[in-house]
Amino acid sequence: MNREVSSVLESDCRTAHGPGSHVAMDTFGNPPPAESPLVRFLYPAPARRRTAGGIFKWWESRRLAYNVVVGAGGALTMSIATVFGQIVGEPMAVSQLLTPVIPIAIMANICYTLGPVTEWFLHRLWGRDVQPVGPHLFRAGLILSAGATFLLPTLLMGFALVLWLVRGIFGLG
C-alpha cells in the first residue's frame, strides 16, 4: 500500500528541475510563491541558539520593527482623534494628543520585554520538549499592542461619535 501511495504522490508532485529534484511544484506546475517581507516579518524562524543570550538577541533584533508598527498605530489613532475633535466641535490641543504617548511607549516596551523572558522561562522549564515559542509570542504581542494603540481608541471614538450624532438628532444635549 505504501508503494501505491508513494507512486501517486510522486506522479502528482511535479518538480522544477526534473527527476530527483526536491523543489516542489503545485498541481499546475508552478513553483511555490516566494515569501513576502510581511510573511518573513510575521512568521520568523525562532532563535537558533536556545540560550538566554540567543533568545534575547532574537527578540532585540525585532524591537525596532515592533516599535514602528505600534507607533504607526498610535499615530493613526492620533490622526483619527484630531479629525474626530474637529467633527464634534471640540478640537484637541497637541498637548492633549501627545500626553499618553510616552507612558504608552514605555508600557509597550515593558510588555515587549516580557516576550523573551517568557520564552526563556518556558525553554528552561520544558527544554527541547517544547517547540520554540518566540515567533508565536511575537505575533500575539504585536497584534495585542497594535490593537491597544489603534483599535481600542478608535472604537471608543466611534462610540462617542455615535453618541454625539444621537444627541444631535434627538436634541439631547
Angle, in degrees to the nearest 10, between helices 101-126 and 52-88: 150
What's the pTM? 0.70
Please state which of the ranges 6-10, 68-72, 130-134, 163-167 shows the lowest mean pLDDT.
6-10
List, in sequence order, every residue forming a beta bridge with 24; answer none if it has no partner: 15
Q: Is the dihedral of CA 70, 76, 80, 86 positive or negative?
A: positive
With left for phi above 0 and alpha for psi between -120 and 50, is residue 18 left, alpha or beta?
Answer: left
C-alpha–C-alpha distance, residues 47 and 26, integer Å? 30
Q: Are 141 and 115 in contact (CB under 8 A)?
A: yes
Please state which of the ranges 24-33, 54-63, 130-139 shows the lowest mean pLDDT.
24-33
Q: Predicted confidence band at 116 (pLDDT cuts at 50, 70, 90)?
A: very high
Cell numbers that stand for 153 in this block: 481608541
Tens digit of each residue's pLDDT (9 = 90 or more) over 86-110: 887 888 888 888 888 899 899 999 9
Question: Closest Cα partner for 108 from 154, 58, 78, 149?
Answer: 149
Q: Please state, in angstroms and as integers, the Cα–Cα distance from residue 132 to each residue in 21, 26, 51, 102, 112, following that order.
A: 30, 29, 11, 32, 17
C-alpha–C-alpha distance, residues 125 and 134, integer Å? 15
Look at residue 24 and tell me whether its pLDDT is greater than 80: no
What's the whole-number mean pLDDT along residues 53-82? 93
pLDDT recorded at residue 13: 41
